[in-house]
Amino acid sequence: MSTIAFLNIGMHGHINPTLPIVAELVRRGHTVTYHTSPAFRQEIEATGATVRLYPGGEQPLPDPPTPLGLLESLASTSLRLLPSVLGDLRQDRPDLIVHDSSCLWGAVAARELGVPAASSFTTFAFNRQVPSPTRGSWELLAAARSQPRAFLDYLQARGELHRRFDAHGLPLFDLLNIRQPLNLVYTSRAFQPAVETFEESYRFVGPSIGARPADPSFQADRLKDPVLYASLGTVFGADPQVLRTFATALAPLGGTVIVSTGQTDPDALGPLPAHVLPLRFVPQLEVLDRAALFITHGGMNSVNEALYAGVPLLVVPQGADQPMTARRVVELGAGLSIRTEDVTKGSVRALARRLLHEPGFRDAATALKTAQRDAGGYRGAADALEGYVRSAGRARPSVPADPGRRG
């Protein structure tokens, strides 16, 4: 059996898809360590992995997560974390490092130690045809000109990273797209744009969805059809007025309307009809199994889970990669999209009526449901990682005990 180390950034959307894979690898007898922030310790330990905590507590990312802000944060975080991370890895002696496609310190650690690495893509895979948000672009250049201090800080951090560690071969700017000889992508080939332009190192394993603890406080048997569900996720603070607009727009159309408020106090939505339920947290997979419609911010995990259940979508992108995901949903006919500034009770209700009553949306979502479920999921991802370890030919790596420092 092998020892496999996972390194990730501290965001639910990046960690959650890896958890079923970790649990499966542990079930198969592998030793798994997981480097993470304290906030995720409990759910990672539940998989059977050994947690290695980053020093200094939580590792916050910029809010809002602009491309330039992300670059500077990822580079400076790498400098801060790498000494401790490398110390842990030298003790654990992994046969394989699996890092998020934006986890710069994971990629550097693998090069520093000479350990094979795989990359974990929680959004789409990126290339020339599907450019990532941090690609070299006129938008990034404009941001550098308007925020010269942040750009200079990034360049200084990258320079220091190259002086102190083995960071060769990593992209200068495109830090959301750090590729390896094996790249796991948590969506199906059917949902990935320009899938024919990606070579065999990309494994489109579909949504990585494992068993989740039941929520005894949520009484699914009391839901009345049609169940309509709205959520803007947990990363972006949702405007209570926007959430209330969803609730009042959907109220006449649904038997039960569920609005997940996340960081927003449900009471901030004001009085609502009895069949409209504003809840801070929702067992999303359980709700999607019953839902006839899902209003979402377009986070890749939420979209993948909706398509896994065959639910048509109304996407209201809030930022990051969400506009790209919204465009793909619309292209494939599985839903519609609307800008936040265009959200009104009338506009949302009109779009929701279309999604509920025009059969083409349900048909497209059902076709994608089949593709998502047939892609392999967390078991397929575990198979790919096991095959990669075998092909790398490393029963145990030869990790230097004291590599010294670069001058």
Q: Please provide the DSSP assignment of 54-101 as one string.
A: PTTS--PPPSS--HHHHHHHHHHHHHHHHHHHHHHHHHH--SEEEEET
Q: Which residues pair with 293 in a beta bridge?
A: 228
Among residues 89, 96, 94, 99, which one has the least CA distance to residue 119? 99
Please, which residues have CB within 8 angstroms of residue 279's CB and are 6 or more apart in sequence? 258, 259, 260, 261, 266
Q: Are strands 31-36 and 50-53 parallel, antiparallel or unpaired?
A: parallel
Beta strands in 114-261 (DSSP E): 117-121, 182-185, 202-204, 227-231, 256-260
The span from the CA of 34 to the CA of 49, in Å, is 6
Domains of the chain: 3-206+375-392 (3.40.50.2000), 220-372 (3.40.50.2000)
Residues of the chain under the 50 pLDDT cut: 394-407
